[in-house]
Chains A and B, each alone.
Chain A
Amino acid sequence: MNPGKRYMALFFFLLIMTGCHDISSDPGIPANPYQQKSEGQKKKEKAAVKDGEYQTPSRFEDLSRSFLYANQSSKNNETVTAEYYVPIEELTGIPSLASREVSMYPGYNVGFLSPGLINVMEADFFRNGRTSNEVFLTLNIDNDLFNYEDWYYTAGVRLEFYHPAISASPLAHLLPSLKGSLNYYSISLFQNLYTPTHLARTNILYGDRPFASYLCLGHNKYSLDPKRRMRLDTWFDLGVIGPNAMGKSAQDIFHGETPIGWQYQVANDIVANYGIHFEKGIYQGKNIDMALFTGGQAGTLYDNLVGGFFMQAGKSTGRYMALFQTTPAQMPFKKRIRYFFNLELENKFVLYDATLQGGMFNHNSVYFITEEDIMRYVFTGRAGAGIGLGFYSLEVEQVFLTPEFDGGNHHFWFRIKIIARLN
């Protein structure tokens, strides 16, 4: 990759990163724009509100909408007046356990009883979204051996842990969410392995895929909005590509004789990748969901844009209602069974792929695919099924991938995903 294009890819990555602001400021202590203003400005704004002159600038925009909504919903058509005004910073901060701002004794919070104020708090609940308190552990196992193949994306393992406490991570602010959504946070550890078609060759297979592997730690957020049938997945991965990712050692576990070609694998480099995936439901039947999605990745591992179609059919909790098809213990046994089938058609426009082209900063790879030989359009088809029973769920998926480089072949692999709810 020549330096000019490398800088373009880096610029694209930085552009995505700087353009991402946390829509929800969720969770924990929400962002407080009020603190960023000078004392004089605060006084001026408060005076303007008291005089009824405030014309819903950005800081109060959401709050004002909630007033309007509350008044419309109560069918009173009342004018929004300053008497309902409460500085947002008094409402959105989650207090510490030792906070004395609120009396725990009944009847002492007299000022918070007017219906108008309750509606302000509704805005807080909806605007900032909610963090799911469910704890999950999932394990993904990808392998092409299920398809009697052993090349290209040959194996992948991903362990992911979902916990509400992960929302407190400073990196969580890099991951936006949908407004008023239910959010799941997770950290993941994953390793992917890539090999050429012939593993036993001792020389470099020019024109074939290079050996490559990466090992990453990921920070993920899944944001669901059942009302608008939308879903936003965002993630940030940090790790390494190359020998330090221990791809050779991982393949040793499954192969009696280690492929010699790992000595020619893509050289060590840093992985820092950001991804976003937005999905919008376009049709919802009794047992069927259809959606369109778009997204992309930017960073030192992958740079691409994707778009496609998704369909899910079967008895499920709802694609935008819950992340997994597990069910709580309080339901009768028969009602705890979930099953579904899904189909995903994804079109990908590839800008950069480090597993083919080598690391973005380290150009010492012995062999890599040149930029001219990269296929810019790649199609991925996924057909899967899943079953959920109580706290456990199992999903399987057959994946089809068109050639990723000039002279490459179609590829198939199979995925097994085991999901366990822990609380």
Chain B
Amino acid sequence: MHDIEPFYSWRDLYIASEDNKSPFFGRQYSEFEFTHAVYNYLIHPQWDEIGSATLYIKVLFVNYETGFAVIELMGEWNDTLYNDIMYLKREIVDAMIGQGVNKFILIGENIFNFHPLEDDYYQEWFDDIEDGWIVGLNFRDHVIQEFKHARLDYYISFGGKFDNFNWRGFNPNQLFVAIEQQMMRRLMP
């Protein structure tokens, strides 16, 4: 677990802690010790804490002109016990929506479990972005099943190419174009 660090190859294009519009602006990261853990597993200090005990994120890229953000997630997404979606929505997403972001690409390779509660925050997120969308990339099968079981896949798009997408091969703007093309096909078949 401690070896998994956020994707770093776009750092020459965007660093959240250096973006004054980002909720993580000015955040500093330890280079000497582990500062966070998911349960009893220490995780790489480059992951950003959002208030949740088990869910951590990294904002990999934000394009305020086009209005999209790429967010990598880490840990256990547990709405049942910790209401993690509230932290994600209130601490991060609301701030981004306020800056004009309405398209969200969530990378879920490192989400190991999902435990749902209710859809209130998902519905609110979906309503807030109007013409935008939320895409879940590379979430694990059992995690997607939990999302579907809780009927949250109405708000976050999974399935098809999104479940096995080689996103690291793109630069962020190319990734956005590729995802948007997929979404256009889905919304207007």
Contact = CB atoms under 8 A, between A and B. Distances in A.
A118 to B, nearest CB: 6
Nearest to A93: B2
Interface string B80-106: 111100110000000000000000000
Nearest to A69: B141
A145 interface: no
Contacts of A317: 80-81
A105 interface: yes
B40 A164 contact: yes
Contacts of B31: 104-105
A156 interface: no
Contacts of B83: 328, 330-331
Contacts of A18: none
A172 to B, nearest CB: 12
Contacts of A26: 40
Contacts of B11: 106-107
Nearest to A124: B1
A7 B53 CA distance: 49
A115 B8 CA distance: 15
A185 B39 CA distance: 13
A130 B3 contact: no
B164 A330 contact: no
Interface in B132-181: 140-142, 163-164, 168
A321 B29 contact: no
Nearest to A167: B40
B80 A321 contact: yes
A101 B163 CA distance: 31
- If over half of A's interface residues share one DSSP class (helix, strand or loop), that class is named, otherwise mixed; here it is loop
B40 A328 contact: no
Interface residues of A, number: 45
Given A27-B40, A94-B2, A104-B44, A122 B140 contact: yes
Given A26-B40, A73-B141, A125-B41, A112 B164 contact: no
B81 A104 contact: no
A133 interface: yes
B32 A104 contact: yes
A91 interface: yes
A125 B164 contact: no
Given A107-B8, A115-B109, A321 B41 contact: no
A112 B81 contact: no
A121 B4 contact: yes
Interface in A57-82: 73-76
A322 interface: yes
Nearest to B15: A106
Given A91-B3, A328-B81, A126 B40 contact: no
Contacts of B76: 130
Contacts of B32: 104
B127 interface: no
B2 A322 contact: no
B140 A330 contact: no
A109 interface: yes
Given A91-B3, A104-B44, A124-B1, A130 B81 contact: no
A74 B118 CA distance: 28
Contacts of A328: 81-83
Interface in B31-58: 31-34, 37-42, 44-46, 51, 53
Contacts of A182: 39
A133 B39 contact: yes
A308 B44 CA distance: 45
B25 interface: no
A331 B46 CA distance: 28
Contact of B87 (A98, A112, A226, A330): A330
A76 B164 contact: yes
A367 B7 CA distance: 72
A261 interface: no
A104 B29 contact: yes
Contacts of B141: 73
A380 interface: no
B40 A95 contact: no
Contacts of B140: 73, 122
B80 A133 contact: no
A390 interface: no
Interface string B1-38: 11111111101000000000000000001111110011
B45 A118 contact: no
B112 interface: yes
By Cβ-Cβ distance, the 7 closest A-B pairs, closest first, are A130-B39, A107-B8, A131-B40, A27-B40, A73-B141, A104-B31, A106-B8
19 contacts: A26-B40, A76-B164, A104-B44, A106-B5, A106-B6, A107-B8, A109-B5, A112-B5, A124-B1, A124-B41, A131-B40, A133-B37, A182-B39, A226-B115, A317-B80, A328-B81, A330-B83, A331-B86, A335-B118
Given A125-B112, A130-B38, 5 more contacts: A95-B2, A97-B34, A107-B9, A112-B4, A335-B118
